[in-house]
Amino acid sequence: MSLYLIGDLQGCDGPLKRLLEKISFSPSTDTLYLLGDLVNRGPDSLGVLRRLSALGDAAQSLLGNHDLHALAVRLGVRKTKRNDTLDALIQADDSEYLFDWLRHRPMAIKAHGWLMVHAGVLPQWTVAQTLALAAEVESVLRGPDIKTELAQMYGNTPEKWHDELTGSDRLRVIVNALTRLRFCKADGLMDFTSNDSADNPPPGFTPWFDVPGRLTKHQPIAFGHWSTLMSDNKGTSQRTTQMLSNTLPLDTGCVWGGCLTAARLGKTAGEFELIQIDCEQAQKPAR
């Protein structure tokens, strides 16, 4: 039995197929953990969801910001953006089934010694609190009021977490942290203006995983979302990935012409082996 963590797919079904072939993936014995942003920007979001949903429990997929956007577009509460590639998925005969499958994906997973999120974890959150807050959003997405709640889930405020937050403000902060976070301050104030590498934070901000006093610092965390994190100064995705402050970033920019990365987990928490394949995509719009 092998366990794999896989970074952002963003509609790149061809590279996913080739990666699964390279690792000789067997759904009867192996398990995939996909770190969100399954769809959008790439050429075949429909193929990705069909492939993953057919794998049953062998594919455990998180929700990323692009996945939530796709749900919102499908429900008519958000408009498509110029670089979206969701039409085939939305118009497919099995669209209803696939979107129902998508909205039942988790926002965070803890398994095999790893905490898995799409983007990040605020410094004030413990592992248990992260999972509990993720479950609050999951409950809404799986419930009858998903359309109403998604319509209120977008925006940059409140900019930081408070335990006393309620309603749509509370859900919005949770979603922003789990699916959009890159830089923040020690008090949890989030920045949403920059997607640069960790070496170029906005003034006064720090990559979330480097914030002093982060309560999850002893927990290995795998995440995606931040393709420029593992890039050289020319913006090219690097061929290797390493632990950063006990976290493992796995978005290596497949949709941007980088590579698609899987981490085969070892026997103890924090151990992994990387497998990567080249991706043919060469998208250029802002991430």
Model confidence pLDDT, tens digit, residues 110-162? 999 999 999 999 999 999 999 999 999 999 999 999 999 999 999 999 999 99
The per-residue pLDDT of the chain, averaged, comes to 93
Binned at pLDDT 50, 70 and 90, residue 11 comes out as very high
Position 19 pLDDT exceeds 50: yes
247: nearest Cα among 207, 205, 279: 207
pLDDT at 268: 82
pTM above 0.85, yes or no: yes
pLDDT at 231: 58
- Which run of H or E residues covers position 122? none
50: nearest Cα among 6, 102, 8: 102
pLDDT at 267: 85
Is 241:259 a contact under the CB 8 Å cutoff? Answer: no
pLDDT at 240: 66
C-alpha span between 23 and 45 (Å, rounded): 22
